């Protein structure tokens, strides 16, 4: 049985380790932190004694690799999966606009959903449909060196189309503005969402916190299949010779008994690991913040699991019952604000859109993830690495690798699968 070391216990590392465990590899996963999950984790909020997530994640039915991973670790039951696309947009005054694709077969259901979406005028709805067909049929050469904002302008998407549909979709999927997104990558995501069949457009949300929904389920699967997990252990050096990693040095031990290594850490962490005279490329990515505001209240009148806010600095409101989780993506401008300023903005938007008075809020917790995702610009695509490296027994995983997707859970899990399959090809030929 070949032994594989997985460095990093985020979703890329957990998925890689799970796929390895399912295929008769001996796995050791090494994580520098005291917890698993990387940028997707839960923690105990001290005042309310509520276990909350550092950030809310909204998955989609087109997340094939994530669903494969969840099925493998028996965690699909931890998620609520829509049967059809059903998204509630809100404009001020709790005015509801629904984008609902139920009642018809695919793709007619999608066409009808857009034709009935009343946040747009009828001509605007037609322009969105026309643009969708055009972008899906565009060649990569047509999109070369264009960003998504240029694409939207070129295709005459109105300001209202932007704020009532495209901006919410773009900022949520990419965690940045359209100016910072490669048009080619944008096409890939649109294709994944809208050409994956009826179920591909549906939303999937965790019923449990992230630790229970993802991390503990994966850890249990790995350990039940003979794998080992080491927390609070940091890899500091990789010793190599003859294009192969021979030794791993951590802050606790030296490891030589392995066949392969999969590194599933972010590029800024990978660059800190010494590797003889070889240096991994410095972190060339720019990053974008996601801001999560958790608000506990005395009474909750909301009956939907989540809402998208039109033309608001707050993009999503997730209903957790006893509290609400407000999400602001593309939030770098909030990094220098103090919590009081952020809370005032959140409460203003909550009252404006959901008619919830600030006096009903009894407690708040604000979480900033300053390096939540990398900016998927044209330039950044050039720095995304393949799973294979110059070392024949060393492979890369992570949402930043060349998955063809933005920095999402699906990209992280897909990278774990790709690293596993590339490594297995090498193992078979070894």
pLDDT at 43: 96
Rg (alpha carbons) of the chain, rounded to whole number: 22
Residues 6+ apart with CB under 8 A from 90: 96, 97, 307, 308, 309, 310, 353, 354
147 bridge partner residues:
182
Task: Return the ∠ at Cα 82 (arms to 406 and 105), rounded to 5°.
Answer: 95
Helix axis angle, 409-429 to 64-72, nearest 10°: 70
pLDDT at 278: 60
Over residues 230-248, the pLDDT tens digits come to 999 999 999 999 889 999 9
Block mean pLDDT (10 aa), the chain, length 430: 96 98 97 96 95 92 95 96 91 96 81 94 95 86 89 94 93 91 91 78 92 97 98 96 94 97 94 75 86 94 95 96 95 96 98 96 96 90 90 96 94 98 85
pLDDT at 282: 65
pLDDT at 262: 98
Residue 105, CB-side half-sphere exposure with 13 Å CA sphere: 0
Alpha carbon distance 248, 240 (integer Å): 9
Fold of 287-374: Polyamine Oxidase; Chain A, domain 2 (3.90.660)
Q: Is 88 exposed, middle or buried (0-12, 13-18, 19+ CB in 10 A)?
A: middle
Contact assessment for residue 13 and residue 222, using Cβ atoms and an 8 Å cutoff: no
pLDDT at 277: 60
Best CATH choice for the domain 3-61+208-284+377-429 from the list 3.40.50.1970, 3.50.50.60, 3.30.230.10, 3.50.40.10: 3.50.50.60
């Amino acid at each position: 049985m070949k032994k594989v070391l997985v460095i990093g216990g985020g979703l890329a590392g957990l998925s890689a380790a799970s796929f390895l465990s399912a295929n008769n590899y001996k796995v050791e996963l090494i994580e520098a932190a005291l917890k698993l999950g990387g940028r997707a984790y839960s923690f105990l909020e001290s005042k309310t004694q509520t276990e909350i997530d550092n950030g809310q994640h909204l998955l989609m039915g087109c997340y094939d690799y994530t669903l494969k991973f969840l099925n493998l670790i028996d965690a699909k039951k931890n998620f609520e999966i829509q049967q059809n696309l059903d998204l509630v947009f809100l404009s001020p005054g709790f005015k509801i606009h629904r984008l609902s694709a139920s009642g018809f077969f695919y793709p007619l259901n999608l066409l009808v959903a857009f034709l009935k979406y009343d946040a747009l005028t009828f001509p605007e709805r037609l322009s969105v449909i026309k643009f969708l067909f055009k972008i899906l049929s565009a060649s990569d050469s047509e999109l070369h060196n264009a960003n998504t904002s240029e694409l939207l302008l070129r295709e005459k998407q109105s300001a209202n189309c932007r704020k009532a549909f495209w901006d919410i979709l773009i900022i949520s999927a990419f965690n940045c503005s359209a100016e910072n997104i490669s048009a080619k990558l944008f096409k890939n995501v649109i294709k994944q969402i809208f050409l994956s069949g009826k179920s591909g457009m549906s939303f999937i949300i965790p019923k449990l916190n992230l630790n229970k929904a993802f991390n503990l389920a994966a850890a249990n699967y790995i350990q039940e299949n003979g794998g080992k997990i080491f927390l609070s252990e940091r890899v500091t050096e990789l010793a190599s010779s003859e294009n192969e990693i021979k030794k791993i040095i951590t802050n606790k031990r030296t490891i030589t008994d392995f066949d392969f290594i999969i590194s599933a850490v972010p590029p800024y962490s990978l660059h800190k690991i010494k590797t003889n005279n070889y240096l991994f490329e410095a972190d060339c990515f720019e990053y974008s913040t996601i801001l999560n505001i958790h608000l506990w209240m005395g009474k909750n009148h909301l009956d939907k699991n989540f809402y998208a806010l039109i033309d608001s600095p707050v993009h999503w409101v997730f209903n957790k019952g006893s509290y609400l989780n407000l999400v602001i993506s593309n939030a770098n401008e909030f990094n220098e604000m103090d919590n009081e300023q952020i809370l005032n903005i959140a409460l203003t938007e909550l009252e404006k859109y959901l008619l919830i008075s600030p006096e009903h809020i009894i407690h708040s917790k604000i979480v900033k993830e300053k390096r939540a995702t990398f900016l998927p610009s044209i330039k950044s695509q050039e720095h995304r690495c393949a799973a294979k490296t110059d070392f024949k027994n060393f492979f890369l995983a992570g949402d930043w690798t060349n998955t063809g997707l933005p920095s999402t859970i699906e990209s992280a899990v897909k990278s774990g699968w790709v690293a596993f399959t590339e490594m297995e090809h090498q193992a078979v030929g070894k």
